[in-house]
A and B are shown apart, each in its own frame.
Chain A
Amino acid sequence: MADKNIDKKLKIFTAIITLIFIILASRLAYLQLVQTEEYQTASEQNRIRLIPIPAKRGEVLDRTGKTIIVKDRPVYSVSISYLGIAEKDQEQVVNRLASMLKMSPDEILAAMNDKKVRKYEPIKIAKDVPLDVVTKIEENRLPGVVINVEPMRQYVYNDFMPHILGYVREITPGQLEKHKDDGYSLGDRFGQAGLENTYEKYLRGQDGHMLVEVDKSQRPVNRPPLDIKGSVPGNNLILNIDYKVQKAAEESLERTMANLQENGFPMAKAGAIVMLDVNSGKVIAMASKPGFDPNIFNGKITPAQSEALFGADKEKNPFPAFNNRALMAYPPGSTFKMVVAAAILEEKKATASETYFDPGSVYLYGRSYGCWKPSGHGTVDLVKAIQTSCNVYFYQMGLRAGVDILYKYAHLFGLGQKTGIDLPTEMAGLAPNPEWKRNLNEPSLQKKYNEQLDTIEKEFAEKLEKAEGERERKRINREKTQRINALNADYKIKKYWNIEWREFETIIMSIGQGYNSYTPIQLANYIATIANGGTRYQPYLVDRVVDYKGNTVTKIDKKMVERINISDKTLNAVRRGMRAVVEPGGTAYGIYANFPVKIAGKTGTAQTGKDKFGKEKPTHGWFVAYAPYDNPQVAVAAIMENAGHGGSTAGLVVKDTLAAYFNVKPSQIGVAARSEE
């Protein structure tokens, strides 16, 4: 049928259809000829995944280089890839996985729905999964479930020197931001405390990666990887710590604390000890109790663990385990007396042979100051004063020296300053002086005074305005003058006590009380300085960094902080005093009576104030020492909180630790005895 009308319409029809085809072809040309590169990139991004191969983190070994204290252990982890599971299968997969991992499905769902997770990234569900469970999961081939091998930190001896080691945990957003140029990414491990933190850059190693082809469910396709770049293990740390000595120190702390708790000191629950090499500042042992097991940081920290570690509630847990007490400041008690002794000799305020008579107390500046021994020590010279820890002697010697000289020597011995040990946190403590006191209190007192003065001025300005007649005004002005005078008098008293340094403060400072506040490591370093003839080193834990093949990367040399100008004569007198402490008549004679190594030491008993009922709280016991007396090798300082006298507490811990260092047979260590101070 040759209908012209139809023909015409079909021609229009043809035109429309041709147009449609041209549009489609043009669009295809644009996509496939113009935008090719863009879409090829997108296609590669779809199928190629960069799977990081986490580097093995470096190990930590003791000074022998043989005892591994921290290492990485390969463990299986189970992850879920969000895109890998069809919505309808999700519930089933989650339920089956939960039952195999013995978790609750809600836990898995919570992890999957975590807002921080990007959808294409596998979500880690479980770590350190046992091999039989891994096998079971593999056999079930659950969609979207991925099993990886990854390294996990293992602290081989659990709660052994956790304060030194620290712990690792996933990098925090803040750390990521700070270290973004160092190639960290979300989920990487990062040293959070201790050596793990200080030596992070050596320990971390270099992550490798693998380029693999994945399908839509993010499962690697069964083909060899497209590219592999192996990881480089982190470097190992060889410590100055001696495993054997450290272990003895920790055990002794625990044992001594347990004994004390049973024998009248229930709160003797914390303590610390530091042993330094006197000729280098190497830390041979550094222990703090209570301790913790850093392995717990591989998993979730329970509220109970968190409480034990960080002790948010001071009433319930006055001894947070996370604190490294070797780096925390305490009043030093009588261990400070060698500072006074050195100061008076060196500044020629007295000679070593000059004596005082100690009748048991002394009356100074309108007050009586007692010795710890009520009957007194009789006539004492410098050596005997140190030996017996005679307070009366040191009160007067302290006054003779004056606070500025005491401060100068405390400072010279490194007290009240951070030692600079290679750990991230350390307290400075405080060596007090008048300037410090003034700065502490003057600004606030002055401010308060000015405010009160202002109030008075305003009050009376108002009153004067309202006043009628000259008599009234005169009366008001008189009243105002009285008020200002009263305020001035009050300020004067406050200034006298709170701003100006008072003699009584020098007196109590001389026996290590008052504002003095030092850390065990400072005390150990001060004793080391006395022992080695006046060289103060910076204590350090790491001797060298070696790579995984054993080549030394960095050797850490001893670092002298200060060579203090103090005469041998002075030091010898002080040393003689310290030696006498463990000789007959000394405060620690009982403790060290049969000890085969010749040591020099000093006890300390630091008062800690009164409790809320006005009762004296138990004292902290200190003991500092160096040994051997003739040829010093090591210096030690130990504290035991709320434990009574220094010798019978910290003295025992020091003895056990020295015994371990000098390989003293257990039979020669002797039994615990009472010390006098």
Chain B
Amino acid sequence: MIDRRAIRNFDFTLFVTIMLIIVFGLIILTSATHATMARGDDPYAHVKKQTISVVIGLAAIGFILKMDYTRLVKYAKFIYVANLLLLISVMVIGEEHKGAQSWISIGSFSLQPSEFAKIAMIITFAVYLTAREGKLRNFSDLIPTFIFFGMPMFLILLQPDLGTALVFVAIYFGMLFVAGANPKNLLALILIGAILVGGVLVAQLGFGLDKPLKPYQLDRLTIFVDPYKDPKGAGYHVIQSLVSLGSGGIWGKGLFKGTQTQLNFLPEQKNDFIFSVVGEEFGFVGSVGLLILFYIFIMRGIKIAMKSKDMLGSLLATGIVSMITFHLLINIGMAAGIMPITGIPLPFFSYGGSSMLANLLGVGILLNVNQRRQVLTF
């Protein structure tokens, strides 16, 4: 099945970039976890587990590369339904962790369906939009897409996982825009959304309503504007993240030498605030270096979308690019104090098997689309 052309079309730049990011990520994860493990526990347990996820993810990429992404059309309905069922099951048998019911445990592993839901939505929405190519000019054409995205989003908001829901929104707009929806309609939608969000904020902040967001959720969302108004409470995370990044300076304090990280002042350093570890230990050089790696990766993704042989491939690549970019914007923005704290992970860095696996599936799809970009003529 893998012919020479497929090998020739393999995007080594993208693959090497992503491998560099992953290795960097594992090193940072080691730094973030080995010093702060409880006495007696394996200090490298997290890195080991994460490495296993990477290996599984790479195997999954190998598997994906074997088949043609166009065959996804056949499975789209199945994927969509399976995704919904998983999201429903997490409501029923899921486990709560840090205030959100997002995990299903299988043996010693726990699965986070919302991470896979993003990939599932990218695939199924790409198939859906391809089928409606050229029929997206009117606003009324968009109404079915509301339902299409609305159902899984609703389930995710129930967990509640606001961050992932926002990623959905990013994927939705990114893909619709490339698929040919009227930009005016999209702008109108964004405007309506902004008015709704603004209305909620005004109602809750200005008039003290405690719905739909609970006060602590609202605090987390708005504290980044002025974290020093509650430096020991809601603002603590942001302040410590800023201190970590800022104190890294240009060259950083050195691997395993970041005091914020090693002495545990930086909260959630293996998950949401792992970027601050990069910034503290490798400084501006490290953090911008990582940004550049991600930028190369994203640009390769867009190039793949451009060169795709069909609309489906373009949309798949667009979806994945939208997803990763949005993750970067929110996660790094949060670490740098310019985005609200929504708790979404840094792709390929944050500790978590589901996220790593889902992102690597995305990489696999990108590579697949790239490999099969030329229409076979024989």
Q: Which of A7-15, A187-195, A533-541 contacts B (4 or more CB under 8 A)?
A: A7-15
Q: Is A6 an interface residue (CB 8 A)?
A: yes
List the B side residues contacting A43 at CB < 8 Å.
243-244, 246-247, 259-260, 265
Considering residues B240, B242, B249, which has the most beta carbons from chain A within 10 angstroms of its beta carbon? B249
**How long is the Cα–Cα vector from A217 to B263 in the complex, in angstroms?**
9
Is there an interface contact between B263 and A5, defined as CB atoms closer than 8 Å? no
Give chain A interface residues in 1-55, CB to chain B under 8 Å.
Answer: 1, 3, 5-7, 9-10, 12-14, 17-18, 20-21, 23-25, 27-29, 31-33, 35-36, 38-40, 42-43, 46-47
Q: 1/0 contact trace for B170-204 toward A, CB 8 Å? A: 00001001101000000000000000000000000
If A6-B178, A28-B336, A214-B263 touch, does A33 touch B250 (CB 8 Å cutoff)?
A: yes
Is there an interface contact between B263 and A27, defined as CB atoms closer than 8 Å? no
Kindly list 11 other residue pairs between chains A and B, CB separation below 8 angstroms, not including A17-B298, A31-B245: A13-B318, A21-B298, A24-B328, A27-B333, A27-B336, A27-B338, A33-B250, A36-B249, A39-B247, A43-B246, A217-B264
Within the complex, the shortest CB–CB distance from B325 to chain A, in Å, comes to 5
Is there an interface contact between B263 and A221, defined as CB atoms closer than 8 Å? yes
Q: Is A216 an interface residue (CB 8 A)?
A: yes
Q: Is B232 an interface residue (CB 8 A)?
A: yes
Q: Is A562 an interface residue (CB 8 A)?
A: no
Within the complex, the shortest CB–CB distance from B319 to chain A, in Å, comes to 12
Q: Is A250 an interface residue (CB 8 A)?
A: no
Q: Is B279 an interface residue (CB 8 A)?
A: yes
Is there an interface contact between A6 and B242, defined as CB atoms closer than 8 Å? no
If A47-B265, A216-B263 touch, does A13 touch B246 (CB 8 Å cutoff)?
A: no
Is there an interface contact between B242 and A21, defined as CB atoms closer than 8 Å? no
List the B side residues contacting A1 at CB < 8 Å.
308-311, 313-314
* Secondary structure call for the B interface: helix
If A24-B329, A46-B243 touch, does A216 touch B336 (CB 8 Å cutoff)?
A: no
If A5-B180, A39-B243, A47-B263 touch, does A32 touch B306 (CB 8 Å cutoff)?
A: no
List the A side residues contacting B113 at CB < 8 Å.
none
Is there an interface contact between A215 and B325, defined as CB atoms closer than 8 Å? no
Give which listed residue, A9, A35, A39, A215, contacts B264 with CB less than 8 A. A215
Is there an interface contact between B283 and A46, defined as CB atoms closer than 8 Å? no
Q: 1/0 contact trace for A423-449 toward B, CB 8 Å? A: 000000000000000000000000000
**How long is the Cα–Cα vector from A29 to B245 in the complex, in angstroms?**
10
Is there an interface contact between A32 and B178, defined as CB atoms closer than 8 Å? no
If A214-B263, A216-B265 touch, does A32 touch B310 (CB 8 Å cutoff)?
A: no
Considering residues B240, B246, B260, B284, which has the most beta carbons from chain A within 10 angstroms of its beta carbon? B246
List the A side residues contacting B213 at CB < 8 Å.
none
For B283, give the chain A residue with the smallest CB separation: A32
Q: Is B122 an interface residue (CB 8 A)?
A: no
List the B side residues contacting A179 at CB < 8 Å.
none
If A13-B302, A28-B288, A32-B283 touch, does A42 touch B264 (CB 8 Å cutoff)?
A: no
Interchain Cβ contacts under 8 Å between A and B, 8 examples: A5-B180, A10-B302, A31-B245, A31-B337, A35-B246, A43-B260, A46-B259, A213-B259
**How long is the Cα–Cα vector from A213 to B321 in the complex, in angstroms?**
43
Is there an interface contact between B302 and A14, defined as CB atoms closer than 8 Å? yes
Is there an interface contact between A215 and B250, defined as CB atoms closer than 8 Å? no
Is there an interface contact between A28 and B291, defined as CB atoms closer than 8 Å? yes
**How long is the Cα–Cα vector from A38 to B243 in the complex, in angstroms?**
8
If A24-B336, A119-B232 touch, does A6 touch B325 (CB 8 Å cutoff)?
A: no
If A10-B305, A10-B306, A31-B242 touch, does A20 touch B336 (CB 8 Å cutoff)?
A: no
Is there an interface contact between A10 and B318, defined as CB atoms closer than 8 Å? yes
List the B side residues contacting A217 at CB < 8 Å.
264
Is there an interface contact between B302 and A32, defined as CB atoms closer than 8 Å? no
Residues of A within 8 A of B (CB): 1, 3, 5-7, 9-10, 12-14, 17-18, 20-21, 23-25, 27-29, 31-33, 35-36, 38-40, 42-43, 46-47, 83, 119, 213-217, 221
**How long is the Cα–Cα vector from A7 to B308 in the complex, in angstroms?**
11
If A28-B287, A36-B250, A43-B243 touch, does A13 touch B174 (CB 8 Å cutoff)?
A: yes
For B375, give the chain A residue with the smallest CB separation: A1
**How long is the Cα–Cα vector from A31 to B283 in the complex, in angstroms?**
10
Give chain B interface residues in 129-144, CB to chain A under 8 Å.
Answer: none
If A33-B250, A42-B243, A214-B263 touch, does A20 touch B279 (CB 8 Å cutoff)?
A: no
If A10-B305, A24-B329, A29-B284 touch, does A40 touch B246 (CB 8 Å cutoff)?
A: yes
Is there an interface contact between B295 and A21, defined as CB atoms closer than 8 Å? yes
Within the complex, the shortest CB–CB distance from A112 to chain B, in Å, comes to 14
Is there an interface contact between B325 and A17, defined as CB atoms closer than 8 Å? yes
**How long is the Cα–Cα vector from A184 to B116 in the complex, in angstroms?**
60
List the A side residues contacting B177 at CB < 8 Å.
9, 12-13
Q: Is B299 an interface residue (CB 8 A)?
A: yes
List the A side residues contacting B352 at CB < 8 Å.
none
List the A side residues contacting B244 at CB < 8 Å.
43
**How long is the Cα–Cα vector from A83 to B267 in the complex, in angstroms?**
13
Is there an interface contact between B250 and A32, defined as CB atoms closer than 8 Å? yes
Is there an interface contact between B259 and A13, defined as CB atoms closer than 8 Å? no
**How long is the Cα–Cα vector from A300 to B239 in the complex, in angstroms?**
39
For A216, give the chain B residue with the smallest CB separation: B264
Range for the number of chain B residues in contact with chain A: 35 or more
**How long is the Cα–Cα vector from A3 to B305 in the complex, in angstroms?**
11
Is there an interface contact between B245 and A28, defined as CB atoms closer than 8 Å? yes
Give chain B interface residues in 189-236, CB to chain A under 8 Å.
Answer: 232
Within the complex, the shortest CB–CB distance from B376 to chain A, in Å, comes to 14
Within the complex, the shortest CB–CB distance from B268 to chain A, in Å, comes to 12
List the A side residues contacting B314 at CB < 8 Å.
1, 3, 6, 10
Q: Is B248 an interface residue (CB 8 A)?
A: yes
**How long is the Cα–Cα vector from A14 to B174 in the complex, in angstroms?**
11
For B285, give the chain A residue with the smallest CB separation: A32
For B181, give the chain A residue with the smallest CB separation: A9
**How long is the Cα–Cα vector from A609 to B138 in the complex, in angstroms?**
110
Q: Is B123 an interface residue (CB 8 A)?
A: no
List the B side residues contacting A14 at CB < 8 Å.
299, 302
**How long is the Cα–Cα vector from A42 to B329 in the complex, in angstroms?**
26
Q: 1/0 contact trace for B259-280 toward A, CB 8 Å? A: 1100111000000000000010
**How long is the Cα–Cα vector from A42 to B333 in the complex, in angstroms?**
21
Within the complex, the shortest CB–CB distance from A24 to chain B, in Å, comes to 5
Q: Is B47 an interface residue (CB 8 A)?
A: no
Q: Is B332 an interface residue (CB 8 A)?
A: yes
Give which listed residue, A17, A23, A29, contacts B321 with CB less than 8 A. A17
Considering residues A5, A9, A20, A31, which has the most beta carbons from chain B within 10 angstroms of its beta carbon? A31
For A43, give the chain B residue with the smallest CB separation: B247
Give which listed residue, B243, B263, B288, contacts A25 with CB less than 8 A. B288
If A28-B245, A32-B283, A40-B247 touch, does A20 touch B288 (CB 8 Å cutoff)?
A: no
Q: 1/0 contact trace for B331-353 toward A, CB 8 Å? A: 01100111000000000000000
**How long is the Cα–Cα vector from A29 to B287 in the complex, in angstroms?**
10
**How long is the Cα–Cα vector from A72 to B318 in the complex, in angstroms?**
75
Within the complex, the shortest CB–CB distance from B77 to chain A, in Å, comes to 24
For A32, give the chain B residue with the smallest CB separation: B284
List the A side residues contacting B329 at CB < 8 Å.
20, 24
Within the complex, the shortest CB–CB distance from A524 to chain B, in Å, comes to 60
**How long is the Cα–Cα vector from A5 to B44 in the complex, in angstroms?**
50
Give which listed residue, B242, B249, B263, B279, contacts A213 with CB less than 8 A. B263
Is there an interface contact between B259 and A28, defined as CB atoms closer than 8 Å? no
For A35, give the chain B residue with the smallest CB separation: B246
If A32-B249, A39-B243, A39-B246 touch, does A13 touch B263 (CB 8 Å cutoff)?
A: no
For A21, give the chain B residue with the smallest CB separation: B295
4 tightest A-B CB contacts, nearest first = A39-B246, A43-B247, A32-B284, A216-B264
**How long is the Cα–Cα vector from A435 to B132 in the complex, in angstroms?**
114
For B287, give the chain A residue with the smallest CB separation: A28
Within the complex, the shortest CB–CB distance from B40 to chain A, in Å, comes to 12
Within the complex, the shortest CB–CB distance from A34 to chain B, in Å, comes to 9
Within the complex, the shortest CB–CB distance from B172 to chain A, in Å, comes to 14
